[in-house]
Amino acid sequence: MTGNAVVKANHGCAMNVFVSGGRPNRAAVIATARRWLKKRYGRRNGEWAYWPIVPTVFIEERLELSGGAIATDIKVHVCAGTVCHVWVEDKRARLSHLFDCDGKPLPGRDPDYPREDQALPVSDRLVDYVRRAAAIAPRIAGDLDPSRIDFLVTGQCLYAGELTVYSAAGYGTWTNPEIMATIERNWRLDRSDYLRRRHRGIAGLYARALKARSRADARNCRPATSPRQA
């Protein structure tokens, strides 16, 4: 492997090897990939949606990202087909910004770059990319609820890079209360895949209790909340 490429696994995060000019060599890449394939990701944090995934290693062309010019990543948070907010990062400059679905900048910070001096400058080109990502993301998310659709940003276009139902392993928080309120308002637990399926034993008791609570909250016009696993 002599060109610029990225070797990845599909069943978890932090499983990437960046190859450039033949380094690391083939043997090192294969050894790393074999370790990935033996690992079942998500047990530590109870991220059970990862467990049924059949581990697979694949290779992608390495993209030249627009860090320092636009951004490197655009992450779109979607609930029930509705874009709740958009999280933009420039990982090269270590800056970020939050937007609504129309590209309007939102106040508040994120877990990766929490300081006020780490706010990413807003430009017309960045806002255009945010709007494009927000338009595409719900079509990728489908009926997954909630989900985060990540795009890689180049100087020419967006590339879909990752889909996850566990943003920050389910522990992500936002300093803007409107973002949390929007997620709670649109995340319909009573329509989730978990509650549409039948369960037995303790899981059945939990599902019935959660469904009853969700319906009661819906009648009272309050959003239902739950553990991440729901």
pLDDT recorded at residue 227 = 40
Residues 185-226 have pLDDT tens digits of 888 887 777 888 889 999 999 999 998 888 777 666 554 444
Bridge partners (DSSP) of residue 119 are 96
Helix (H) or strand (E) holding 29: helix 26-38
Give the sign of the dihedral formed by CA 135, CA 139, CA 140, CA 144.
positive
Rounded CA gap, 119 and 95, in Å? 5
pLDDT recorded at residue 194 = 80
pLDDT recorded at residue 214 = 81
Q: Give Cα 186 to chain centroid, integer Å.
A: 17
Domain ranges of the chain: 5-61, 73-185, 188-219
Rounded CA gap, 230 and 180, in Å? 17
Rounded CA gap, 92 and 147, in Å? 25
Length of the chain: 230
Q: Collect the ranges in the chain with pLDDT lower than 70.
A: 1-2, 218-230
C-beta atoms surrounding 23 within 10 Å: 11
Residues 43-65 have pLDDT tens digits of 888 888 888 899 999 999 999 99
Rounded CA gap, 62 and 6, in Å? 6
Domain 73-185 indexed as CATH 3.30.470: yes
